[in-house]
């Protein structure tokens, strides 16, 4: 008889967690407990457990009664102003979750932690490309290292294993998530169009021309279930990327066509500064087009766009390792962006 699989997904309202929950629901053979402080907006019926994972007491009270968790998918994440400040809260959320579940669920088999291309220092400047999973670490702090060291040490001699996907720029339908390039582009285009402006690339020439990569949130979700349930993947990390590379200059015209605008060359603006005063305009657009009334600062994080569009070096990960072990999914990045823009339109997030 196959054992029942019970997933505990933290970060259920995040772009990664939300798409994973939808995938697990579609698979049909998982029970799912979804953890986040806010209630997740997912189509399928999952058990939502509100908890502040940063607080060990709150975490133990909320999760301590779960006796049948087999897989933890740890997608909770908190952004902090510095790299050093990221370590303690992100490590605390993981440790509180794992240690609570270890005590109550004797059948725990696997803990998946999230990482990303920042593992290779992609956020610090040019790095060795294509990046491979066993490339040397850069000088810390990097909270991904602390998370990996924690699960590696904690799982030693236990019945559970760990894995870590390393995506880059996760693209998928989600609203209210800071690291979401698709909402940055969609809201920026909507505002420019209303102002009668062409769709200028809001970044540097170097970024417009550099090679870049993204990860479809659904493809990522499939890879997460694959690596968490494939014994050969145990205790390893995997680069999980769409499978193609883009240059913004090549995809920008298709984005302009989608929004029915003229594409324009790079205009090295600072989105956080330039878009700071556009909240009232967004509010008018919401009313005029009958859009869902998300607050301006809830729908888009301009500083995240500024980071991406000022990255002047190539971002490339080697995906051979996941392929060699059996994960072959690919998707075209331009097509993915257009699909996600369309889903924002259908869901009345943009006109």
Ligand X SMILES: NC(=O)c1ccc[n+]([C@@H]2O[C@H](COP(=O)([O-])OP(=O)(O)OC[C@H]3O[C@@H](n4cnc5c(N)ncnc54)[C@H](OP(=O)(O)O)[C@@H]3O)[C@@H](O)[C@H]2O)c1
Alpha carbon of 274 to those of 10, 181, 192, 194: distances in Å? 34, 17, 11, 15
Look at strands 30-35 and 170-171 and give their pairing.
unpaired
Least distance from ligand X to the Cβ atom of residue 22, Å? 13
CA distance 120 to 126: 10
Least distance from ligand X to the Cβ atom of residue 104, Å? 18
The residue sitting closest to ligand X, measured at its beta carbon, is 14
User: Are 174 and 15 spatial neighbours (Cβ–Cβ below 8 Å)?
Assistant: yes
Q: Does 14 bind ligand X (CB under 6 A)?
A: yes
Least distance from ligand X to the Cβ atom of residue 71, Å? 16
Using the rule CB under 6 A, give the single segment among 15-23, 148-156, 257-265, 320-328 that binds ligand X: 15-23
Return the number of the residue (298 or 342) whose C-beta is nearest ligand X.
Answer: 298
CA-closest candidate to residue 153, choices 95, 97, 231, 96: 95
Q: Does 17 bind ligand X (CB under 6 A)?
A: yes
Among 7, 8, 53, 224, binds ligand X (CB under 6 A): 53
Total of chain residues touching ligand X, rule CB under 6 A: 28
φ, ψ of residue 238 to 5 degrees: the values are -140, 130
Among 179, 185, 285, 340, binds ligand X (CB under 6 A): 179
Count helices and strands (H / E) in the chain: 14, 11
Which sign does the torsion angle of CA 147, 153, 158, 161 carry? Answer: positive
Least distance from ligand X to the Cβ atom of residue 36, Å? 4
Least distance from ligand X to the Cβ atom of residue 177, Å? 3
Among 37, 128, 158, 289, binds ligand X (CB under 6 A): 37
* Chain centroid offset of residue 95 CA: 20
Q: Does 264 bind ligand X (CB under 6 A)?
A: no
Token readout for 123 is 């956020």
Q: Does 266 bind ligand X (CB under 6 A)?
A: no
Least distance from ligand X to the Cβ atom of residue 51, Å? 6
């Amino acid at each position: 008889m196959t054992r029942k699989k019970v997933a505990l997904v933290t970060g259920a309202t995040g772009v990664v967690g939300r798409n994973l929950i939808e995938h697990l629901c579609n698979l049909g053979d998982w029970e799912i407990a979804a953890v986040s402080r806010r209630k997740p907006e997912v189509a399928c019926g999952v058990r939502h457990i509100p908890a502040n994972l940063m607080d060990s007491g709150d975490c133990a009270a909320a999760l301590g009664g779960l006796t049948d968790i087999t897989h933890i998918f740890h997608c909770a994440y908190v952004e902090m102003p510095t790299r050093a400040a990221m370590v303690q809260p992100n490590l605390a959320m993981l440790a509180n979750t794992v240690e609570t579940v270890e005590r109550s669920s004797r059948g725990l088999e696997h803990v998946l932690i999230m990482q990303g291309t920042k593992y290779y220092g992609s956020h610090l400047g040019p790095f060795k490309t294509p990046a491979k999973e066993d490339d040397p670490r850069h000088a810390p702090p990097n909270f991904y290292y602390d998370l990996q060291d924690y699960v590696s040490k904690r799982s030693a001699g236990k019945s559970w294993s760990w894995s870590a996907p390393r995506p880059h720029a996760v693209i998928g339908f989600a609203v209210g998530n800071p690291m979401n390039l698709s909402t940055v582009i969609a809201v920026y285009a909507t505002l420019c169009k209303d102002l009668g402006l062409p769709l200028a690339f809001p970044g540097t020439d170097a970024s417009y021309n550099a090679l870049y990569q993204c990860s479809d949130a659904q493809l990522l979700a499939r890879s997460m279930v694959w690596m968490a349930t494939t014994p050969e993947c145990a205790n390893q990390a995997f680069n999980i990327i769409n499978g193609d590379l883009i240059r913004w200059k090549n995809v920008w015209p298709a984005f302009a066509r989608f929004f029915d605008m003229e594409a324009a060359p790079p205009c090295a603006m600072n989105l956080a500064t330039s878009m700071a005063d556009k909240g009232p305009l967004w509010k008018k657009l919401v009313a005029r087009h009958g859009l869902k009334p998300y607050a301006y600062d809830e729908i888009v994080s301009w500083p995240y766009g500024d980071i991406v569009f000022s990255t002047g070096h190539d971002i490339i990960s080697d995906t051979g390792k996941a392929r060699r072990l059996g994960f072959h999914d690919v998707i075209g990045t331009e097509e993915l962006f257009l699909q996600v823009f369309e889903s924002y339109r259908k869901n009345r997030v943009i006109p």
